A and B are shown apart, each in its own frame.
Chain A
């Protein structure tokens, strides 16, 4: 009798608890839906620009309009656009992507096929590394407006990330035909780089910069990309010039400071590199540039600091990935980044696990194949690395990091001729690549 009562109590408690869980979830969801995202205060030099004053004014205006009329689609789209621009300016993608996604979903709840909302949604998906979803959503948007250049740009990005390079080239050409501007030239540059045409990539990126207004985030971002192209071809002076111009046009621009840090690393001036990275991190959202800083700490002999920072980075990336894998339609997939982070602390099995997770999502992407190959190589499994590195080389990319890694893998596999050719190409003109890789490549070259 006593046990029967207890058993009945157990059932009642169980049902009650389930009810509580469901209601709690509903309450949380309601809060999420009701949450109004606002601008977060900028830090450092970024807070002292006219752009910030304008952004604050625009956002306040749009928020007032939305408050007055919650069905105001136009203002919601404009606000989402502002949030996306702010994410680029501050590097705080985690916050602003969610804010913009909420607005895009709000609009789609009112108008399921709204072109702007679909385009924004696809853009946010790509930013969060949900590449397949981004591509599919961009295709939907393109069906609404087949001659819109912007959506073609999103399609180029999505196809590149998914490894559909032929489709990416086609979309880029269509984009260029519709509207040759900064965005289309930048995409042309990126594709030329993927296909191993560095002079062509540099030329297109210069055109992109010329097409943009100096000081705009998009223009200066393109200038940073140009600097990076120069780094990869060993022209560090031109790279420095571009980073300096970007810093003049957009004071404290974090990507320019990061570029300067890389150049300082090339000169083995690690203190200067740390200082630039810290400056970059100071203006950006908290936690940015951890991976780069960890590398400098490691190279300058501060291994404890490097490991601590990498640990924090892994924790942060894992949190984002967990959000992406559990219940959210958003959350940052960061398995490629996690693979490299685990590799830097010699956790090879974890590195491989994450590299393969990313590979499952986009097996045709050359960078993902390079990651899986490199992790296998580091793990000592060169036979498993070979098919992946072969796939990574399929576009004839002349990226020096890729070529050096490929050379080392082929050398270990016993193909000395191929190794020699790849290492020679990879180290041609002394490009600015990771010091450890450069040293490994130099030793290998001596053996050949």
Chain B
């Protein structure tokens, strides 16, 4: 019995390894136009690219970050979550662009939508932030990083400026996320957090909307 269980476990590991490690199939594209450009131009280019990947083009990432903001009204808590998310997506983004891990978008994109749905439902089910939230956010960050990689692959990275461009892209993404957090706190959380109806109207309302959109995306990305 034990042997069978071990065999299945090995099979499961193999299955995920086969999905995530496929360096010869996908090679990240090269941005030849920026190969000879000065470093400051490269930094500015990828910084803008990272930022615009969140605002205005990354509606799924915007909803994810909005979802993270809803369970706690403390800025410190959300910043910890945002940091965990950033560290995680930076790891998988770099590894993906180096072709060390590569996950197909047919897997990554639906899971990204699913992660948004998870956070939205969690906001409705829980009344306070649990300590494991940060671990979950980290895990989701790993998945989102692989999503960023496929977007970055469209533009490509210049040879010889891999780290400069990827760090600039990550900083751009981070600035985009911070902008979403600032907007959420200044427009909704800080002005409304002391209202008696805050949880019922703001947290439930936003989470339900985010959840519905994410559910739609999950189905769309899985089947269409």
- Closest B residue to A7 by beta carbon equals B125
Question: Cβ of B125 and Cβ of A6 under 8 Å apart?
Answer: yes
Q: Does A45 contact B (CB under 8 A)?
A: no
With the chains together, A22 CA to B16 CA distance in Å?
8
Residues of A within 8 A of B30 (CB): 132, 361
Question: Cβ of B26 and Cβ of A329 under 8 Å apart?
Answer: yes
Residues of B within 8 A of A357 (CB): 154-155
**In whole Å, how far is A64's beta carbon from the nearest beta carbon of chain B?**
30
With the chains together, A128 CA to B127 CA distance in Å?
53
- Closest B residue to A136 by beta carbon equals B27
Overall SS of chain B's interface = helix
Q: What is the 8 Å Cβ interface bit string for chain A, positions 72-114, against chain B (1 contact, 0 not)?
A: 0000000000000000000000000000000000000000000
A24-32, A46-54, A264-272: which lies at the B interface?
A24-32
Q: Does B58 contact A (CB under 8 A)?
A: no
**In whole Å, how far is A203's beta carbon from the nearest beta carbon of chain B?**
33
Q: Which of A3, A21, A25, A361 is B156 in contact with, Cβ under 8 Å? A: A361
Kindly identify, within residues 24 to 77 of chain A, every residue whose CB is under 8 Å from any CB belonging to chain B: 24-26, 28
Question: Cβ of A26 and Cβ of B222 under 8 Å apart?
Answer: no
A contact residues, range: 20 to 34
Residues of A within 8 A of B73 (CB): none
Residues of A within 8 A of B125 (CB): 3, 6-7, 10
With the chains together, A162 CA to B106 CA distance in Å?
30
Residues of A within 8 A of B127 (CB): 3
Kindly identify, within residues 5 to 41 of chain B, every residue whose CB is under 8 Å from any CB belonging to chain A: 15-16, 19, 25-27, 29-34
B83-91, B110-118, B188-196: which lies at the A interface?
B110-118
Q: A132-B32, A360-B155 are in contact. Are A7 and B126 (CB under 8 A)?
A: yes
Q: Which of B25, B29, B104, B114 is A17 in contact with, Cβ under 8 Å? A: B114
- Closest B residue to A326 by beta carbon equals B105
Q: Does A363 contact B (CB under 8 A)?
A: yes
Residues of B within 8 A of A290 (CB): none
Residues of B within 8 A of A325 (CB): 150, 153-154
Residues of A within 8 A of B27 (CB): 133
Instruction: Please report B residues at the A interface, Cβ cutoff 8 Å.
Output: 15-16, 19, 25-27, 29-34, 104-107, 110-111, 114, 118, 121-122, 125-127, 150, 153-156, 218, 222
20 interchain pairs (CB within 8 A)?
A10-B121, A10-B122, A17-B218, A18-B114, A21-B110, A21-B114, A22-B19, A25-B19, A26-B15, A133-B27, A325-B153, A326-B104, A326-B105, A326-B106, A326-B150, A327-B106, A360-B155, A361-B31, A361-B32, A361-B33
